[in-house]
């Protein structure tokens, strides 16, 4: 999967605030993503992110 910093992705599951769109802030073994709806930043392991991405927007 070709994901880079600055991309926006739509996830299969939504964030507790109701948003499904996240922006990628950091890429590596862990991804740092930011919810576009509430602004919360979360670190998630690469394996979990790759399973839960529905589509890449940018």
- The answer as to whether 48 is a domain residue is yes
With a cut of 90, say whether residue 43 has pLDDT above it: yes
Look up the pTM and report it. Answer: 0.88
With a cut of 90, say whether residue 17 has pLDDT above it: yes
- The answer as to whether 14 is a domain residue is yes
- Cβ–Cβ < 8 Å for 22, 6: no
- The answer as to whether 43 is a domain residue is yes
Mean pLDDT computed over every residue of the chain: 93
* 28 Cβ neighbours under 8 A, 6+ residues apart: 46
Which range, of 1-5, 30-34, 47-51, averages the lowest pLDDT? Answer: 1-5
- Please state the domain count of the chain: 1
Q: Which of 47, 36, 43, 32 is nearest to 14 (CA)?
A: 36
Cβ of 22: how many Cβ atoms within 10 Å?
A: 27
| Dihedral of alpha carbons 19, 17, 28, 11, sign | negative
Domain that holds residue 27: 8-56
Return the pLDDT at 55.
Answer: 94
The CATH number of the domain holding residue 27 is 2.30.30
């Amino acid at each position: 999967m070709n994901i880079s910093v600055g991309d926006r992705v739509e996830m299969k599951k939504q964030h507790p605030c109701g948003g499904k769109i996240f922006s990628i802030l950091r890429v590596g073994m862990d991804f740092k993503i930011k919810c576009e709806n509430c602004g919360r930043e979360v670190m998630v392991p690469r394996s979990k992110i790759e399973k839960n991405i529905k589509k890449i927007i940018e």
